[in-house]
Amino acid sequence: GGKNFHFVHRSADVDSVVSGTLRSAFEYGGQKCSACSRLYAPRSLWPQIKGRLLEELGGIKVGNPAEDFGTFFSAVIDAKS
């Protein structure tokens, strides 16, 4: 896999940055070659982005999607593997 990044322009919408970054980093358990692992943001936007990332991360539901459809992040490997 790569070391993909998001490069944020100073005119970017913070909510879009946060949503796109979290989806890229954590969808498919982060086990995809295009998962975001680095974020470059202007200093002027960083406090807002950081605050929203932490807020959203706190609400991410970890678990088994077969048991709870609200799960966003789960293990990729099961006991049978």
Query: Taking the domains of the chain in order of start, what are their residue ranges?
Result: 1-81
Q: Is the pLDDT of residue 77 over 80?
A: no
CATH code, residues 1-81: 3.40.309.10
Helix (H) or strand (E) holding 36: strand 36-40
Q: Where is pLDDT greater, at 6 or 75?
A: 6
Please state the pTM of the whole predicted model. 0.79
pLDDT of 8-65, one tens digit each? 999 999 999 999 999 888 887 777 788 899 999 999 999 999 999 999 998 888 888 8
Q: Residue 29: phi, psi to the nearest 5?
A: 65, 20
Q: Is the pLDDT of residue 1 over 70?
A: no
